[in-house]
C-alpha cells in the first residue's frame, strides 16, 4: 500500500527500508586483514622492525595523503603509476591531493621539510599502506602495504651493498633465502639514459608493427618505459634492442662493479639483468629487484636502488640517496604458503574465566585482571554476556584455553564469592575448588608456571 501523503514514516517503514538495503562491501582490491591472518602480519612486522633497527635505521612516519604534484615530480609524468594508477582527487579547497602510491616521495618530502637531509647522513625506515589503481589479482591490490628503507647522504657503493645486505638478512630471518633471487642492473645517470632513449626510439621505430598501442605511445613520450611492457609480443620485439649498459658512463660502471665485489664479499649472490629498469623515473646507477617464483606472475617482492637526483628534483639541496621497498602482501602470501610462520607467533588464550549467575561480573573482571597482573605471559578472557554454565564452558573450550576458572552461584546474593572452581580444559577435566585468596597460586600450579 502506498504511504499516505504527508504521513511521517513509522518505525516499521524505516526498519523495512533498512532491512532491504544491500550490504556494503569493501572497495575492490582493498583487503581486510582478518584476525586469522594477523599473526603472519605481526610476525613480519616484528621481524622487519628488528632487522632495520639492528642496522641503525630509525622509523619515520609521514601522511598517506600528499599534494599530487609531489608524486608527479618524483615518480615521473610518463610512468604507469602517474599515468593510470594514482588515486587523486580535489579536496574541498580545490587542491589536488593523492593517496600515496609509494613511500620514497613522501619520505624525502618529510625529511627535507624538517631539515634531516642537508649535510647529514640518515638511515630511515617506514611502513604502511600504499594505493594504486591496478587490476586486482593475486599479489596485486589497490591498497597494499610496503616496508621501506631510505639512506641519505652516502655516495655508495658501500651503502648500496648495505641495503641489499639488509634485505638478505630479512630473508634469512624469515627463512625465505632459498625462495628469492636478486637481480641488479646499472641504469646510469639521467644523461646516459637520455642518450640511450634516443637510440632505443630509433630501434623501436623500425619494429613499430610489433608494438601495442601502449608501447607506441611510450615510444614517443618515454621510450625506456617500453622495456617494462608485460606484453610478450613487445618483449619479442625488444630481443635485439640496444642495451642500456653500452650507454652508461665509465664512472657509473666502476661503481656498480665495486658493488658487485662487495656483494660477493658478503656472500650475496645476484644475477645481472640488463633489462631491469624499475617503474619509477627517479632511480640512477645501481637498481635491484628481489623476485620469487613462489607467487606466479607477481614475482617482485622488493625493489630499490640509488636515487641521487630526487631530493634536488623536489626542491631540496642535492643529496645522495638509496633505498628499497618491499611488498608486504607478497611476503605474507609466501610465508603462509610455505608455512614459515612459527606457531609461537599466534595469539594464545590460556585462561577462561566463567561467570555464571547474578552479581558476579565485578568479581569476574577483578579476578581476571589479578591473574593477568601475576602472570603477564598469560592471555586471559573473562566471559561477558552471561549465559548458562554449559554454554560458557563450550566457549572456554573453543577459545583454546587450557584452564577454566569458574565463578558460579545461584540466586541473587550480592556478596562476593568466597570460593572458585578451577578446571583443566582437557579430556581429563581435573578440577578443584579453592578459597578465592588461593586461586591465583592454584592457577599457576595447574599451568606449571610461577608469577614473573
Which has the closest alpha carbon to 87: 143, 31, 145, 32?
A: 143
Under rule CB under 6 A, residue 106 binds ligand ATP? no
Residue 422 · residue 403 · CB < 8 Å: yes
Residue 432 sits at φ, ψ, to 5 deg, of: -150, 155
Under rule CB under 6 A, residue 144 binds ligand ATP? yes
* x/- track of binding to ligand ATP for residues 297-316 (CB under 6 A): -x-xxxx-------------
**Cell representation of residue 68:** 599530487
Between residue 6 and residue 35, which ones bind ligand ATP under the rule CB under 6 A? Answer: none
Which has the closest alpha carbon to 361: 434, 414, 438?
A: 414
Closest distance to ligand ATP from the beta carbon of 411 (Å) = 59
CA 322 – CA 157 distance, rounded (Å): 10
Between residue 167 and residue 196, which ones bind ligand ATP under the rule CB under 6 A? Answer: none
**If 0-12 CB within 10 Å is exposed, 13-18 middle and 19+ buried, where does residue 7 land?**
exposed
Under rule CB under 6 A, residue 102 binds ligand ATP? yes
Under rule CB under 6 A, residue 327 binds ligand ATP? yes
> Is the Cα torsion angle 150, 154, 155, 157 positive or negative in sign?
negative
Under rule CB under 6 A, residue 141 binds ligand ATP? yes
Cell 602495504 belongs to residue = 145
Under rule CB under 6 A, residue 279 binds ligand ATP? yes
Under rule CB under 6 A, residue 71 binds ligand ATP? no
Between residue 234 and residue 263, which ones bind ligand ATP under the rule CB under 6 A? Answer: none
Count of residues of this chain found to bind ligand ATP when the rule CB under 6 A is applied: 18
Q: Which stretch binds ligand ATP (CB under 6 A): 138-146, 231-239, 314-322, 435-443?
A: 138-146
Q: Which stretch binds ligand ATP (CB under 6 A): 110-118, 136-144, 196-204, 241-249?
A: 136-144
Closest distance to ligand ATP from the beta carbon of 273 (Å) = 13
| Residues facing residue 295 across a β-bridge | none
Closest distance to ligand ATP from the beta carbon of 278 (Å) = 6
Under rule CB under 6 A, residue 132 binds ligand ATP? yes
Under rule CB under 6 A, residue 325 binds ligand ATP? yes
3-class DSSP state for residue 427? coil
Residue among 83, 88, 140, 447 that touches ligand ATP (CB under 6 A): 140
- Rounded to 10 degrees, the C-alpha dihedral 265/50/334/226 comes to -60
Alpha helix segments (H runs only) across 271-400: 310-313, 328-337, 361-374, 389-398
CA 402 – CA 430 distance, rounded (Å): 11
Q: List strand residue ranges (DSSP E) for 249-397, in order.
A: 271-272, 284-292, 300-306, 321-327, 351-356, 380-382
Closest distance to ligand ATP from the beta carbon of 74 (Å) = 12
Closest distance to ligand ATP from the beta carbon of 139 (Å) = 6
**If 0-12 CB within 10 Å is exposed, 13-18 middle and 19+ buried, where does residue 376 land?**
exposed
Closest distance to ligand ATP from the beta carbon of 451 (Å) = 45
Give the nearer residue to ligand ATP in terms of CB position, either 281 or 308: 281
Closest distance to ligand ATP from the beta carbon of 50 (Å) = 20
Under rule CB under 6 A, residue 83 binds ligand ATP? no
Cβ-proximal residue to ligand ATP, closest one: 327
Interacting residues toward ligand ATP by CB under 6 A: 102, 132, 134, 139-141, 144, 146, 279, 298, 300-303, 325, 327, 329-330
Amino acid at each position: 500500500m502506498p504511504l499516505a501523503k504527508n504521513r511521517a514514516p513509522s518505525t516499521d517503514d524505516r526498519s523495512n527500508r533498512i532491512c532491504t538495503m544491500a550490504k556494503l562491501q569493501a572497495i575492490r582490491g582493498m583487503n581486510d586483514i582478518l584476525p586469522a591472518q594477523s599473526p603472519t602480519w605481526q610476525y613480519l612486522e616484528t621481524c622487519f622492525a628488528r632487522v632495520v633497527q639492528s642496522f641503525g635505521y630509525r622509523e619515520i612516519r609521514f601522511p598517506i595523503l600528499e599534494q599530487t604534484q609531489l608524486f608527479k615530480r618524483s615518480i615521473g609524468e610518463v610512468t604507469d603509476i602517474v599515468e593510470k594508477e594514482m588515486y587523486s582527487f580535489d579536496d574541498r579547497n580545490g587542491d589536488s591531493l593523492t593517496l600515496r602510491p609509494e613511500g620514497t616521495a613522501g619520505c624525502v618530502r618529510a625529511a627535507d621539510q624538517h631539515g634531516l637531509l642537508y649535510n647529514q647522513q640518515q638511515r630511515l625506515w617506514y611502513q604502511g599502506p600504499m594505493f594504486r589503481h591496478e587490476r586486482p589479482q593475486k599479489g596485486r591490490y589497490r591498497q597494499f602495504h610496503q616496508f621501506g628503507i631510505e639512506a641519505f647522504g652516502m655516495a655508495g657503493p658501500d651503502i648500496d651493498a648495505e641495503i641489499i645486505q639488509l634485505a638478505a638478512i630479512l630473508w634469512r630471518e624469515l627463512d625465505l633465502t632459498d625462495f628469492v633471487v636478486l637481480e641488479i642492473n646499472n641504469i646510469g645517470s639521467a644523461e646516459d639514459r637520455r642518450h640511450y632513449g634516443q637510440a632505443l626510439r630509433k630501434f623501436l621505430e623500425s619494429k613499430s608493427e610489433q608494438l601495442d598501442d601502449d608501447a607506441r605511445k611510450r615510444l614517443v613520450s618515454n621510450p625506456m618505459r617500453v622495456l617494462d611492457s608485460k606484453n610478450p609480443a613487445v618483449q619479442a620485439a625488444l630481443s635485439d634492442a640496444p642495451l642500456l649498459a653500452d650507454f652508461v658512463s665509465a664512472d657509473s660502471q666502476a661503481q656498480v662493479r665495486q658493488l658487485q665485489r662487495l656483494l660477493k664479499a658478503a656472500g650475496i649472490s645476484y644475477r645481472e639483468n640488463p633489462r631491469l629498469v624499475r617503474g619509477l623515473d627517479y632511480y640512477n646507477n645501481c637498481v635491484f629487484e628481489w623476485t620469487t617464483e613462489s607467487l606466479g606472475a607477481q614475482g617482485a617482492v622488493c625493489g630499490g636502488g640509488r636515487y641521487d637526483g630526487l631530493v634536488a628534483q623536489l626542491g631540496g639541496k642535492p643529496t645522495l640517496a638509496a633505498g628499497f621497498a618491499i611488498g608486504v602482501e607478497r611476503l605474507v602470501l609466501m610465508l603462509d604458503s610455505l608455512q614459515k610462520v612459527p606457531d609461537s607467533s599466534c595469539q594464545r588464550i590460556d585462561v577462561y574465566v566463567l561467570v555464571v549467575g547474578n552479581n558476579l561480573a565485578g568479581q569476574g573482571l577483578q579476578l581476571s585482571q589479578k591473574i593477568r597482573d601475576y602472570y603477564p605471559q598469560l592471555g586471559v578472557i573473562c566471559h561477558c554476556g552471561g549465559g548458562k554454565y554449559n554454554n560458557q564452558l563450550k566457549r572456554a573450550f573453543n577459545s583454546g584455553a587450557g584452564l577454566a576458572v569458574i565463578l558460579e552461584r545461584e540466586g541473587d546474593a550480592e556478596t562476593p564469592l568466597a570460593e572458585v572452581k578451577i578446571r583443566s580444559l582437557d579430556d581429563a577435566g581435573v578440577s578443584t575448588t579453592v578459597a578465592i585468596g588461593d586461586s591465583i597460586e592454584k592457577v599457576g600450579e595447574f599451568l606449571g608456571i610461577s608469577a614473573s
